[in-house]
Amino acid sequence: MTGQALYFTGDESVAVREQPISDPGPGQVRVRTERSGISPGTELLVYRGDVSSELPTDETIDALEGTFSYPLQYGYAAVGRVTDVGAGVDDAWLDRRVFAFNPHESHFLADPETLVPTTLPPEQAVFIPNAEAAANFVMDGRPRFGARVAVFGQGPVGLLTTALLAEFPLSCLVAVDPCGTRRDLSRSLGADRALAPDDLDEVDEVDMAVELSGNPTALDDAIDVTGYAGQVLVGSWYGTKDVSLGLGDAYHRSHIRIRSSQVSRIDPDHADRWDKDRRLDAVRAWLAETDLSALHTHTFDVSRATEAYRLLDERPDDAVQVTLTYD
């Protein structure tokens, strides 16, 4: 028996390769993937070669080993069912739907402790990692009652962050994105206003800006719209892109706080009451109650993965959440 696995093989190049389907060893289960989600932020950096080849892929995820040197498997949003269990694993795992932080491949082996059992449908469960990232941004940002907030970038993570922030008693929530379709989605998820970057002169000073576009120039814009002693939360990963900021007199006197936020670890400020399991439980509960179907714009069989990445790379305005399926 053979399965399919997606590899990043070079700049702007992916390949789907056949590989043996292995039996689970002791303490392992085998999962058959139903659907996996493509991250248009991180994965496009890998696809374009905008990540240092010496950087470890993710030291907090067991399924992601090695560095970002080609060829490599990457991805972290797989949903499937357990089809076999190894010695020492409870048969109750059989046929259970699970989420895994795992690369794009039709079958994989895993330690049950790394899997997230879920009753969510696959098209909803693929949002787990991006919704967890959005939750992390909101937790780190700590928006106050009546705050004015702007979210730069309305890809999947930005839209989910907008949706979460819309549940807070803010005085104004502004979404910023060059794509009209994404701005429409922002409004449907609760943004009070949705603007193109060229229209930022219409925005009053905000208390907090969240930069999630992956575009280095947006960070400068986020700083510009943030008021005195406000906060700029940077969730974007720019990879090897140069970031140039205008930190002149206005910034020097602004007392603006610029801080990073990333989902792999819980900020120590929250460690007294939160851990990753509690955050993940909260995210799954929110996803069970939130309709995100409008964010799914394209689905490709994994054999057409090249088309999927070309779409995201060459026509980003046409796509939001792209997923791969496995026959």
DSSP states of 6-23 as a string?
EEEEETTEEEEEEEE-PP
CATH of the domain at 165: 3.40.50.720
Q: What is the pLDDT of residues 167-190, one digit of tens each?
A: 999 999 999 999 999 999 999 999
Look at residue 14 in the predicted model and tell me its pLDDT. Answer: 97
Q: What are the φ/ψ torsions at residue 283 (nearest 5 degrees)?
A: -65, -45
**How far is the first Cα of the chain from the last one, in angstroms, to the nearest whole number?**
14
CB contact at 8 A, 38 and 324: yes
Residue 290: inside a domain, yes or no?
Answer: no
- Same domain (yes/no): 113, 9: yes
Look at residue 63 in the predicted model and tell me its pLDDT. Answer: 74
> CA–CA distance from 93 to each of 89, 105, 277 (Å)?
8, 20, 19
Looking at 264, 283, 309, which one is the last position of a domain? 264
CB contact at 8 A, 171 and 195: no
Mean pLDDT of 38-57: 91
CATH of the domain at 49: 3.90.180.10
CB contact at 8 A, 153 and 175: no
The rounded distance, in Å, linking the Cα atoms of 33 and 1 is 15
Q: What is the pLDDT of residues 81-129, one digit of tens each?
A: 999 999 999 999 999 999 999 999 999 999 999 999 999 999 999 999 9
Q: What is the pLDDT of residues 213-259, one digit of tens each?
A: 999 999 999 999 999 999 999 999 888 888 888 888 888 889 999 99
pTM score, two decimals? 0.93
> CA–CA distance from 209 to each of 48, 124, 272 (Å)?
27, 27, 26
Per the DSSP assignment, residues forming a β-bridge with 325 are: 35, 301
Looking at 243, 264, 285, which one is the last position of a domain? 264
- Same domain (yes/no): 101, 136: no
State how far Cα 133 lies from the chain centre: 6
Give the tokens for residue 80: 């499937």
- Same domain (yes/no): 164, 83: no
Residue 45: inside a domain, yes or no?
Answer: yes
CB atoms within 10 A of CB 243: 12
Count of domains for the chain: 2
- Name the one residue in this structure whose structure tokens are 């004015």: 148
- Same domain (yes/no): 25, 80: yes
CB contact at 8 A, 55 and 46: no
Q: What are the φ/ψ torsions at residue 53 (nearest 5 degrees)?
A: -65, -15
The rounded distance, in Å, linking the Cα atoms of 237 and 241 is 9
Residue 271: inside a domain, yes or no?
Answer: no
The rounded distance, in Å, linking the Cα atoms of 120 and 153 is 26
- Same domain (yes/no): 60, 32: yes
- Same domain (yes/no): 34, 137: no
Residue 272: inside a domain, yes or no?
Answer: no
Give the tokens for residue 192: 């009070």
Looking at 220, 248, 264, which one is the last position of a domain? 264
Residue 164: inside a domain, yes or no?
Answer: yes
Q: What is the pLDDT of residues 286-315, one digit of tens each?
A: 999 999 999 999 999 999 999 999 999 999
Residue 277: inside a domain, yes or no?
Answer: no
Domain holding 27, by residue range, is 2-127+295-325
